[in-house]
Structure 1
Amino acid sequence: MSTLTSGGAVAPGTEAPAYPTDRGGCPFRQPAGLAEFRDRAPVARATFASGREGWLATGHAEVRAILRDPRFSVRIPGSLHESADVVKHLPGRGSLLWQDGEEHDSDRRLLAREFTVRRMNLLRPNIQRIVDEHIDRMLAARAPVDLVKMFAVPVPSAVISDLFGVPEDVREDFQSGAEAMMALNTDPEALAAAGMRVSMIVYQVIQRKRAEPGDDLISGLLALPDPEGVLTDEFLVTMASTLLIAAHDTTACMIGLGTALLLDNPDQLALLRERPDLVPGAVEEMLRYLSIAQRGAERVAVEDVEIAGVTIKAGDQVAVHIPGANLDPAISEGAEDFDVTRRPTPHVAFGFGSHQCIGQQLARIELQVVFETLLRRLPGLALAKPIDQIPFRDEMVFYGVHELPVTF
């Protein structure tokens, strides 16, 4: 029997309690036992899927504190969720996800020039066009249709591909490679092959842009002054692959899962149909409530850090539980409930601190356009199967639905 002390340490002679993963029969609820874990100790020892112990942060304040503290590094030796036999090959420059300190800040400033709020807002008409075109295709098809296949996946893929200037003829191949890389159960050799395929596609796109620049993000980066020689092919391939994969998969998950959530909550759906002005706030509520990064983020302490009454020693690994933080009652009353009228909370769905998602404004705009348009143009949208027959993405890095049969 596992026992935690009030400070989150483990009582002598016991193992740390297991990292919570079982959703208890409701696909939209966060893992059973999560609230008890957080209430007992917002930072505590836990046993992860790898069988190894580490620290688990589930409190909102504690998660934010860890994510903004430079004494925690993203360059972990291996994931607590994976076997110790899995060697972590961290990419070089270009992947903001695995960089610390000044190198990370310098590279992020470079990319931030292309992700300004103004530029993201200028993309809204193109996003609206893409959304309308895919709804037209759904309407032309014979219902029921799979909303994931016909809408949730191709819409964000087209948006991010347009932004990066990825040609139409390679988008399908890129998408299949990206999906393979997001599976938690992909064979290591298949994973490496998918990564190589994605990198080669991106490399070829970069060479096209060097020869024929356009009005896209890669061309914009290639046009920047680069006195230190940072913008190498390796840097650009790593950067573009990371952002393309993350942007298309996360937003696709949010569209599919968010739609399923609304259709399973008819009172909330009716509110949004009556008051489309609630859509921006509803998007924030979906981001908070669904928290699709189901494994959260991991860090390793580079020196001793005291937080929430415990000492995390240098070399200790920490997993921050994004769903736990977003459901912490400290940030909003009734946090365990889904409420489209809730005032936006300081959720951490996009992370926090220096590593928070650089594309979050694009994601927000895209989700706002998607849900406003779906509700307006498909007033009869409904599930074609009971929710307990929908296959959910439990085995993927980002939670969502594999398919969502709908009628309209």
Structure 2
Amino acid sequence: MTDSAVTPTDTEPTGAKFPAYPMSRAAGCPFDPPPALRTLQAEAPITKVRLWDGTTPWLVTRYDDQRALLADPRISADTIHPHYPFVSAGQAASRKQVQAFISMDDPEHGRLRRMVTAPFAIKRVEALRPAIQKIVDGLIDDMLANSTPVDLVEAFALPVPSLVICELLGVPYADHDFFQANSRILVKRTATPEQALAAQQRLLDYLDRLISEKLANPGNDLLSELAVQHVATGELSWHEAASMARLLLIAGHETTANMIALGTLALLQHPEQLAELRATDDPKLIAGAVEELLRHLSIVHTGRRRVALTDIEIGGRTIRAGEGVILANDIGNRDPAAFHDPDPDRLDLHRDARRHVAFGFGVHQCLGQPLARVELQVVYGTLYRRIPTLRLATGLGDLDQIPFKHDGLVYGVYRLPVTW
């Protein structure tokens, strides 16, 4: 929904002073949100910030306010809205060209989402656990058969979810170099509009051809189901189907891959927590560890982006119709009030972290979260047990040599050299 008659207040006089967003993390603290976010959460939990294009949306930093807004139908996820607060110029160009269902509002969002919900249902995903375990064990076997050091990202973290999502969608894993390279461009904040549009078009052309093949020779996979049940019947256009497939392919490997590598690095910095996870076969402890790492790391670190459709009163502030809103889930997940802990920056695998907002909240929360949870449970429950001496090849605590994805839409590491 857009309303061209709305006159937003997300552009301010030249002299107005607002902090730039996103903000920088503190040196030596790559796992924690920027200190400025903690200050805002305590002193100005709903305040304006300045983005790359000079617009000044509202930044919401407290957990309860974030959940309230994410569940509020007066807040729009529609990227076609003229005042949507894009992360970067590249993202603005790509999302204006191709709008996936996560960037739409109901009822269209719900209509399209329902077409791909079934394969990500908890029971269906649980049935994949043995196959995911086999993939994880096979990749660990390959690592153990090779000499060290090994880049855990290339050898393990990226292949695990890529193999799983390829099997689920019906995308040939042999093409992983192609789709991973183009995905990397689309999730990079520094990508130019030209680079983002070119990468997106390459993926759309590839997926369009693949959907055509599935229509002619359907298999037992999600793309075949989309082609036969929705494209062939006219319920979905080719463009909509390719757009949906692009979203699932990128989201299906990028986020989990970053959680595997960054979660491993965080655990290596907390050897007592790692030792406990390594020694357990308790599925409840492993599942709890996954939730705590999701809360602690919050790899979607540029906030959930929205636009107010009507005036909204919240936290003593009035967000006007047409104003952009950013829900900073990384600091929301560190809100002391939310998790009843005076030290929410502490990694505690025994914490009840299930109410985190790492997957968002409300109708737009992550479709693939059941799959991500099972993948991470299998990985965190297997990798450290099978390689008990796993350690950084750069030396314990030497984080300066690790290339973190400060420039990404999804946070993580570009490489993680490990040995054993």
Q: Which amino acid aligns with 1:320?
A: L
- SS of 2:415 mapped into structure 1: coil
* 2:326 maps to which of 306, 309, 319: 319
Q: Is the CA contact 2:49–2:57 (under 8 Å) kept in the aligned structure 1?
A: yes
Verify: 1:310 aligned to 2:317, yes or no.
Answer: yes
Q: Which amino acid aligns with 1:252?
A: A
Q: Which amino acid aligns with 2:336?
A: P
Partner of 2:139: 134
Unaligned runs of at least 5 residues, structure 2: 1-11
Task: Measure, in 2, the Cα distance between the counterparts of 1:229 and 1:83.
Answer: 33
Question: Displacement, 1:274?
Answer: 2.4
Partner of 1:5: none
Q: Which amino acid aligns with 2:68?
A: A
Partner of 2:4: none
Task: Measure, in 1, the Cα distance between the counterparts of 2:374 and 2:91.
Answer: 41
Partner of 1:404: 416
Encode CA deviations 1:5-43: one digit per residue, 9 max, x unaligned. Answer: xxxxx9xx8522333522111111111121110111322
Question: Displacement, 1:256?
Answer: 0.7
For structure 1, which segment, 226-235 or 311-320, has the greater mean C-alpha deviation from structure 2 after superposition?
A: 226-235
Task: Measure, in 2, the Cα distance between the counterparts of 1:181 and 1:216.
Answer: 25
CA RMSD after TM alignment: 2.1
Partner of 1:82: 88
Question: Displacement, 1:345?
Answer: 3.5
* 2:251 maps to which of 246, 254, 257: 246
Partner of 1:4: none
Partner of 1:200: 205
Question: Displacement, 1:222?
Answer: 3.3
TM-score (norm 1): 0.92
Q: Which amino acid aligns with 1:376?
A: R
Q: Which amino acid aligns with 2:31?
A: F
Task: Measure, in 1, the Cα distance between the counterparts of 2:377 and 2:66.
Answer: 27
- SS of 1:44 mapped into structure 2: strand
CA distance 1:84–1:106, change in 2 (3 Å): closer
* 1:51 maps to which of 41, 51, 54: 54
Task: Measure, in 2, the Cα distance between the counterparts of 1:147 and 1:226.
Answer: 39
Q: Is the CA contact 1:390–1:401 (under 8 Å) kept in the aligned structure 2?
A: yes
Partner of 1:373: 382
Partner of 1:328: 335
Question: Displacement, 1:118?
Answer: 1.2
Unaligned runs of at least 5 residues, structure 1: 1-9
- SS of 2:307 mapped into structure 1: strand
Encode CA deviations 1:120-177: one digit per residue, 9 max, x unaligned. Answer: 1111111111111111111111111000011111111111011001123322211111
Verify: 1:339 aligned to 2:339, yes or no.
Answer: no
Matches within 5 A, 1:59-138: 59-76=62-79, 77=82, 78-79=84-85, 81-82=87-88, 89-91=95-97, 95-138=100-143
Question: Displacement, 1:84?
Answer: 11
Q: Is the CA contact 1:60–1:331 (under 8 Å) kept in the aligned structure 2?
A: yes
Question: Displacement, 1:221?
Answer: 2.9
- SS of 1:18 mapped into structure 2: coil
Task: Measure, in 2, the Cα distance between the counterparts of 1:321 and 1:228.
Answer: 40
Task: Measure, in 2, the Cα distance between the counterparts of 1:223 and 1:125.
Answer: 28
* 1:269 maps to which of 257, 271, 274: 274
CA distance 1:323–1:89, change in 2 (3 Å): closer
For structure 1, which segment, 14-23 or 167-176, has the greater mean C-alpha deviation from structure 2 after superposition?
A: 14-23
Task: Measure, in 1, the Cα distance between the counterparts of 2:155 and 2:331.
Answer: 32
Partner of 2:264: 259
CA distance 1:231–1:362, change in 2 (3 Å): same
Q: Which amino acid aligns with 1:37?
A: L
Question: Displacement, 1:227?
Answer: 9.7
Aligned length: 396
Task: Measure, in 2, the Cα distance between the counterparts of 1:404 and 1:169.
Answer: 23
Q: Is the CA contact 1:74–1:298 (under 8 Å) kept in the aligned structure 2?
A: yes
* 1:39 maps to which of 22, 37, 42: 42
Question: Displacement, 1:80?
Answer: 5.1
Partner of 1:22: 24
Q: Is the CA contact 1:182–1:396 (under 8 Å) kept in the aligned structure 2?
A: yes
Question: Displacement, 1:244?
Answer: 0.7
CA distance 1:257–1:167, change in 2 (3 Å): same
Task: Measure, in 2, the Cα distance between the counterparts of 1:70 and 1:264.
Answer: 41
Matches within 5 A, 1:122-271: 122-224=127-229, 229-271=234-276
TM-score (norm 2): 0.89
Q: Which amino acid aligns with 1:398?
A: V
Task: Measure, in 1, the Cα distance between the counterparts of 2:115 and 2:357.
Answer: 24
CA distance 1:119–1:175, change in 2 (3 Å): same
CA distance 1:88–1:401, change in 2 (3 Å): closer
Task: Measure, in 2, the Cα distance between the counterparts of 1:133 and 1:46.
Answer: 47
Encode CA deviations 1:97-125: one digit per residue, 9 max, x unaligned. Answer: 21102111111222212321111111111
Q: Is the CA contact 2:91–2:196 (under 8 Å) kept in the aligned structure 1?
A: no
Question: Displacement, 1:212?
Answer: 1.4
